[in-house]
Structure 1
Amino acid sequence: MGTRQKDEQRALDIVAGRGEAGDDAGKPAKSGLGGMELAGIALWLLVLIGGGAGVAYYFLLAPK
């Protein structure tokens, strides 16, 4: 394969999302939760705790 064909194939690989085949060929995929996922979970927990506190105040502590 000529130099031009190698360059064209490399460009096609980059555009297709394969990047440099030699650089990360043996690396496993990233696992675990990222920052956005953790922020979403934290917000849901905040909503649940806040809702629970509101319900507890309304039914248990609010003056009647």
Structure 2
Amino acid sequence: VVSINEAIELAKEFGGPDSGRFVNGILDRVKNDLSRPLREAASPGEAATEKETPAPSE
């Protein structure tokens, strides 16, 4: 949590007017995704869909 706050402060200092809010949103989402139990992180259908994407044909 401390590192998230540090990243937000750095974004505010060196970024544009909305950078702090943007970084906060991204890092909050990452934190929430990482704190979910592994079983809920991806359903079997979701994981299969990502792996079965066909290669582009020429």
TM-score (norm 2): 0.37
Greater CA radius of gyration, 1 or 2?
Answer: 1
TM-score (norm 1): 0.34
Which structure: greater helix fraction? 2
